[in-house]
Chain A
Amino acid sequence: MIHSSFLIPLFPLVGFLILAAFGRRIGNPMAGWIATLMVLASFIVTVLVFASVAAEPASARLHVENWFTWLTAGQLSIGVGIQVDPLSLTMAMFITGISALIHCYSVGYMEHDEQFPKFFLYLNLFVFSMLMLVLGENLLITFLGWEGVGVCSYFLIAFWFTRPSAASAGKKAMIYNRVGDGGFLLALFLLIDKTHSLTFTTIFSRLSSLSSVDLAAVSLLLFVGAAGKSAQLPLFPWLADAMEGPTPVSALIHAATMVTAGVYLMCRVSPILHLAPDAGHVIAWIGVATAFIAATIGCAQTDIKKVLAYSTVSQLGYMFLAVGCGAYDAAIFLMLTHAFYKALLFLGSGSVIHAMGDEQDIKKMGSLRALMPLTSATFFIGWLSIAGVPPFSGFWAKGDVLSNAWVVSPALWVVGAFTAILTAYYMGRQYLLVFFGEPRWKETGEGSLHPHDAGWTMSMPLIVLAVLASFGGLINLPFGSHLTFLESWLAPVVGASQLHNTDSTLQLWLFGIADAVFAIGGATMALALWRNTVNRPALEPRFLSMAWFLDASIDRFIARPSSALALFGATIVDRQIIDGAVNGVAGLFKVGASKLRRVQTGYVRSYALVIIVGLVVMVAYFMIRSGL
C-alpha cells in the first residue's frame, strides 16, 4: 500500500485537471461532487497507507519515493518525490479529511454562485499543493507546495474579484507571503551552499558542516517564511483581510490547513532547530507575543469572521510557542485539534452568515440559539474546545503546550496562561452576541429574514467536526506512554529533537487544574459581561479594534514611503536624471556636429558622423597600441 502513496496527491490533481478542462460543461453541482470525491479518495488512500505504515516497526517508518529529476546544476540535483513518514502522514490525513468535509459543505454553501466550478477547481488545486507541501521529500518540493497554496489562497481570497476589497485582500496576502518567501529562499540557498542538497535526510546527515551561526540563520530564515505563511508577528495583517474570501475558504485555508504550514515546516526541520537553541527562544517569544496580541485584538472585533481570524493567529502563536520550546508533538497536537474546532467555528459562522443574508456584524445578530439549534450547539462545542474547558480537545492540546513552555521559561507560561483566559473570554463574547440576547437583526427592517439551519451538505460536516472537537484529545492523553498515541507515533521524526518534559503526575494535575480554572474563568467573565449587553466601549478600545495599528503602521511607514520612492524613481531618476543624461550627451553631439558643418542635417547623419569619427580614433589608438 505504501507504494500507492503517489495516489494521495494525484487524485486532487486529476480533479483539478478535469475541472480545468470541462468544469463549465460539468457545471453545478456535479463539479463540486467530483472535486469532493477526489479528495475523499485521497483521504481513503491516506488512511490505508497510514494503516500499513503503522504496522511496521517504528524505526522503519520512513519511505522516500523519487519520481523524476527536477533541477540539476553542478553538484546540486533536486528531485520530485515524496517522503512517507509519521509526520507527513499525520498531516496528509488531517488535510484530506478536513478538506473532504469542507468540499462537501461548499457544495451547499456555494450553490448559487456563478463561478461554482471554478471554486472547486481552485480548491482541488489547493489540496494538491498542500499535499505536495507536506509530503515533499526535499525542501524545494515543500517550497513548490508552499507557493502553490499561496497562489490558491490568492485566487480564493480574491474569488469575488468584482469587489475591490476582495481583490486587494488577495493581493495583500500574496505580497505578505512573498516577504516570508524571501526568507525561505535564503534559507534554501544557505543550505545548498553548505550541504549541496535540499533532501531532508541528506541535509540532516550533513548538519555538521554548518556553523552555529549558519544553523541559527537557517532556522530564523525558515521562520521568516513560516511567519509569513502562518501569520506571525509582524506579518499577520493579511490574515484578517483574507476573510474577504468565501467562508469555506477561510475554514479550510485560513484556519485548518494552509496557515499551519509554517508549523509543519518547523517540525519538519526540527533537527536543525534542535541545534540552534537561541533561534528557538526567538521563535517561542514571537509565538507567545503573537498569541497574546492577536487575542487582545480578538476581544474588540465585531465582524464574526475577523474574531475567528485573530483567534487563528493567536492559536498559531501557541503552536510556535510549542515549536520554539522544542515541544514539536504538542505543536502538532494543537494543530490537529485546532483544525477541528476552528474549522467547526468557521463553518458555523458560514451558516450564520448565510442565515443572516450575508450580514457579518455580530452586533447585528443575536438570539439565534432557538432558530438555529444545530449551528448553536456545534458552535458552543467549538467555543468550549478553543477555550480549553475540560474534557474538550483544546484543553488537552493547549495544556500540553503550556506545560512544556513552563519547562523552558515560566515567563512564557505566564503570557500563555493569560492569553488562555482572553481566549475563553473573546470566544464567549462572540458566542453570546450571536446566539443570545435580543434578535437585533429584526431591527434593520429586513423582515424577510427567516434564519434556520442549513441542509445536510452543510450540517453533516458541522456534526462530524463537533465530534472531533469534543473527543480529539483522546489521541494524546497525558496519562502514561500507552495513552500518548500522537507522541509515540511522531517520535521517529521529532523524538530526537524533542524537549524532554519530566513533569510528575502531581505537576500535570496542577497544570490541568490551572488550565481549567483559566478557561472557566474567562468564559464566566464573558457570560457576566456580554450575556445581555451589546455595547461596552470601554472593553472595545479603538487601539484593539484597529489591531494595535499594525496594519496602518506598515502602510504608513513601509508601503507608502516605498511607493513614493518608486514614483520618484519612475519620474525623476529615470525620466530626468538617467534619460536626461543620455539626451544631454546626444544633444551635445548634435550641437557640436551642427556647428562643425554649419548645417542642420538631421539626426541620423550627425550621429553617424560623430560615431565614425570616434570609431576611427579608437581603431587608430588600438592599432598604435598593438604595434601595427
Chain B
Amino acid sequence: MKLKKENSVKRNRKEKPGTEPDEKWVLRLYVAGQTPKAITAFTNLKKICEEQLDGKYSIEVIDLLINPQLGGEDQIFALPTLVRKLPVPVRKIIGDLSDTERVLVGLNLLPER
C-alpha cells in the first residue's frame, strides 16, 4: 500500500543548462498511498521535468497516509497535488498531470495561450 521509495526525497543534480539558468525547481507531489492516480501523476511529472527542466529540479513525494500532518502545510485537499514551492509564487496543480499542456501552464513553463 505504501509508496515507500517515493517518500524519500529524489534529487536529480545533473548540471545541464536549463531554460531558466541558475534557478532550481522545488516540487512536491502529494499523494495518499500508491493509487493508480498517484502512480500516473508521478510518471507524468518525471517525464515533464526531464523534458522541461533538464535536471534542475527536485521532487519530493509526500504520502499523506504516512504523514497526514503535512497536508495542512500546503493546503492540500485534492489528491494528487503537485506544489511548486520554488520558484515563487507557489503554484498548485491538482490531478494526475495527464494534461501536459495544463501542467506546463500551471508550472508557468509555457506562456499562457
Same complex: no
